[in-house]
């Protein structure tokens, strides 16, 4: 088994599911999905959100707060409050400058800062998340500034100072000549109301700094949409907006676009060569010329005249956050499971197999294996029967209940129990078990020992008259396709036959097959268990590897974790048993914990499996005695 891996980084499945559910809830898009990446960003084309590995080395509480702040910025902020057409067009333009890394990261940072202010104002419950984010990032940029100062990376130093200045709660902060020049412009971020306001700030800063630095920033601090996802500027053949006037300018010959190349065009006035204004304007009036307009993009209507559009931020409607993260997560869970088998099990088909007639070899092999576990079965049965007997003979006198006729104890006992409770306990345990066996190909050298363990359960439960079912499962990999992924559930011992004296040899029909889709099968058998009337319901999953099937490699652990969590919500106790040939590693323990939390056992080699299952079965049975 392995942990979930994104970009060669290991991810905790439980944390991943929390972040994914939160992102779906905030974005209000059940088709959206989440990934871990080196930087956080939002891809509007794929409806994908990424959260950053920046938080990996923090303590758990800080990590959760940091990841949630990423999700809020991308799934709530970028998704609903960023003009993404404007955002991507400006990112594309900034790539044309020799300081593209600096200005693109500054653009992303300032937009995030604007969104953070907006989110905290309307959702006060997020204040702690962003406070944690700011503290960690400030510490990070302080150390980065010192490192960049030693290496004389001037633009990286400036970027670090910009972050520390804009996030400082003090009236004084470290600065330099370049920062002093642009700081008044940068502080307008806190008055920005829309993405175009941030665009204006970026172009104003660009005007001040572009000529002072020859080398771009070295490091990447904030992520942005991959360049191959940034749309090309609007087609130059698109229809231009009609002008208010209809006059034409004479005396100008048509320009040949091959003679002149314009990498970017900001619609600046060129009448005054000293005017380096970087603002862009919406042209509603002007003079028609014969100049061909196919050498630069035609500006779209969303570009605003933002030259002096800044003003004091108005207090928004004071809305209290009506939902906690947990509530949002639960709402998201309702949206993402429109597929009855979970979103990671699309286009699956289920084939149910019944046991075939027992062969002579099956009966002989079963007799041999059952003899190996017979001593353990007898010991378990005696332990449980004795516990039941002790319970039946336990004193029934109570301080409440029906009034007892033995009045003399009023005078003989200091604290007499004058009441009794009518006994209606049965000698049968109110429990049901389901044993689910992974029949993937990697079980070829472990299936015999698994069968011994399954026989131990079967014989013990049968003698104690506890209903149970035993099934193997696998995916038919040779016939699987994107359109149809056939999965087989081979129920060798159904509930109806579990107490029959001769049903045991059916277990010998379990064999290693092909792939395994654990989450799918846990969902299916959980539905069957949920319909049972018994009070205590147990599902044991025997597995030896990571869930693996078509389109299921990375998602299998997540899907299985989610299936286990859903089963437990409806009262089924799910326990994972992992079989490892060598000494189990910390990675294996962490993976099982990701899927089953603390309800699992790991056997170091097949011989150790049965020895560990015996005390576990005893514990489960004793728990079933009310």
| Domains detected in the chain | 1-81 (no CATH), 84-238+275-285+296-316 (no CATH), 348-394+429-623 (3.40.50.410), 395-427 (no CATH)
Is 111:79 a contact under the CB 8 Å cutoff? no
Is 10:56 a contact under the CB 8 Å cutoff? no
pLDDT of residue 311: 37
pLDDT of residue 489: 95
Question: What is the pairing mode between strands 485-493 and 33-37?
Answer: unpaired
DSSP secondary structure letter of residue 585 = P
pLDDT of residue 617: 81
What is the C-alpha separation between 596 and 575, in angstroms, rounded? 7
Q: Which residues sit opposite 398 in a β-bridge? A: 419
What is the C-alpha separation between 295 and 69, in angstroms, rounded? 42
Is 470:455 a contact under the CB 8 Å cutoff? no
pLDDT of residue 404: 65
Q: State the sign of the Cα–Cα–Cα–Cα dihedral 122, 35, 585, 599.
A: positive
What is the C-alpha separation between 428 and 463, in angstroms, rounded? 11
Closest C-alpha to 342, from 608, 593, 510, 522: 522
Query: Which of the residues in the chain have pLDDT under 70?
Result: 1-11, 171-173, 226-339, 389-413, 415, 417-428, 545, 554, 581-585, 587, 605-607, 626
What is the C-alpha separation between 41 and 223, in angstroms, rounded? 6
Q: Which residues contact 361 (CB under 8 A, 6 or more apart)?
A: 508
Instruction: Tell me the whole-structure pTM to 2 decimals.
Output: 0.57
Q: State the sign of the Cα–Cα–Cα–Cα dihedral 46, 49, 50, 56.
A: negative
Is 51:21 a contact under the CB 8 Å cutoff? no
**In angstroms, how far apart are the furthest CA atoms of the chain?**
126
Question: What is the pairing mode between strands 48-52 and 33-37?
Answer: parallel
φ and ψ of 577, to 5 deg = -120, 120
């Amino acid at each position: 088994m392995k942990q979930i891996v994104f970009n060669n980084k290991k991810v905790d499945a439980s944390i991943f599911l929390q972040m994914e559910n939160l992102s779906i809830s905030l974005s209000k898009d059940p088709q959206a999905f989440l990934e871990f990446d080196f930087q956080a960003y939002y891809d509007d084309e794929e409806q994908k959100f990424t959260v950053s590995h920046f938080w990996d080395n923090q303590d758990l509480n800080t990590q959760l707060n940091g990841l949630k702040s990423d999700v809020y910025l991308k799934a709530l902020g970028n998704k609903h409050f960023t003009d993404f057409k404007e955002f991507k067009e400006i990112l594309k333009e900034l790539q044309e400058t020799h300081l593209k890394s600096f200005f693109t990261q500054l653009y992303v940072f300032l937009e995030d800062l604007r969104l953070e202010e907006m989110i905290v104002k309307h959702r006060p419950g997020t204040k702690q998340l962003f406070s944690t984010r700011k503290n960690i990032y400030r510490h990070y940029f302080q150390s980065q500034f010192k490192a960049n100062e030693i290496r004389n990376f001037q633009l990286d130093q400036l970027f670090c100072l910009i972050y520390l200045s804009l996030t400082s709660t003090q009236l004084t902060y470290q600065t330099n000549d370049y920062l002093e020049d642009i700081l008044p412009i940068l502080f307008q971020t806190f008055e920005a109301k829309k993405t175009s306001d941030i665009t204006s700030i970026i172009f104003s800063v660009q005007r001040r700094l572009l000529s002072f630095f020859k080398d771009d920033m070295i490091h990447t601090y904030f992520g942005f949409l991959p360049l191959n996802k940034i749309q090309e500027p609007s087609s130059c053949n698109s229809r231009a907006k009609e002008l208010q006037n209809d006059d034409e300018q004479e005396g100008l010959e048509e320009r040949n676009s091959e003679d002149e190349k314009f990498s970017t065009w900001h619609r600046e006035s060129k009448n005054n060569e000293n005017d380096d204004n970087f603002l862009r304007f919406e042209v509603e009036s002007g003079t028609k010329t014969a100049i061909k307009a196919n050498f630069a993009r035609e500006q779209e209507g969303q570009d605003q005249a933002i030259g002096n559009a800044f003003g004091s931020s108005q207090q928004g409607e004071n809305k209290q956050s009506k939902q906690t993260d947990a509530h949002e997560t639960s709402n998201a869970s309702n949206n993402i499971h429109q597929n009855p088998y979970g979103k990671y099990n699309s286009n699956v088909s289920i084939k149910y197999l019944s046991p075939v007639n027992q062969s002579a070899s099956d009966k002989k092999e079963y007799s041999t294996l059952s003899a190996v576990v017979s001593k353990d079965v007898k010991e378990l049965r005696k332990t449980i029967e004795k516990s039941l007997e002790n319970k039946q003979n336990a004193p029934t006198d109570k301080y409440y209940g029906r009034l007892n006729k033995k009045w003399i104890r009023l005078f003989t006992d200091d604290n007499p129990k004058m009441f009794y409770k009518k006994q209606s306990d049965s000698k049968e345990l109110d429990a049901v078990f389901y044993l689910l066996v992974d029949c993937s190909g990697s079980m070829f050298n472990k299936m015999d020992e698994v069968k011994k363990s399954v026989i131990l359960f079967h014989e013990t439960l049968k003698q104690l008259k506890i209903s149970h079912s035993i099934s193997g499962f696998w995916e038919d990999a040779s016939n699987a396709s994107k359109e149809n992924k056939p999965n087989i559930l081979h129920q060798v011992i159904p509930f109806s036959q579990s107490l029959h004296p001769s049903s045991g040899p059916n277990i010998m029909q379990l064999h290693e097959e092909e792939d395994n889709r654990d989450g799918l099968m846990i969902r299916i058998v959980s539905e069957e268990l949920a319909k049972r009337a018994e009070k205590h319901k147990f599902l044991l999953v025997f597995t030896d590897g990571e869930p693996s099937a078509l389109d299921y490699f990375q998602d299998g652990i997540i899907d299985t974790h989610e299936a286990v969590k859903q089963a437990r919500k409806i009262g089924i106790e799910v326990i994972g048993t992992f079989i490892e040939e060598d000494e189990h590693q910390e990675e294996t323990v962490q993976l099982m914990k990701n899927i089953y939390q603390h309800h699992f056992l790991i056997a170091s080699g097949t011989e150790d499996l049965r020895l560990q299952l015996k005390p576990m079965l005893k514990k489960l049975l004793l728990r079933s005695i009310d």
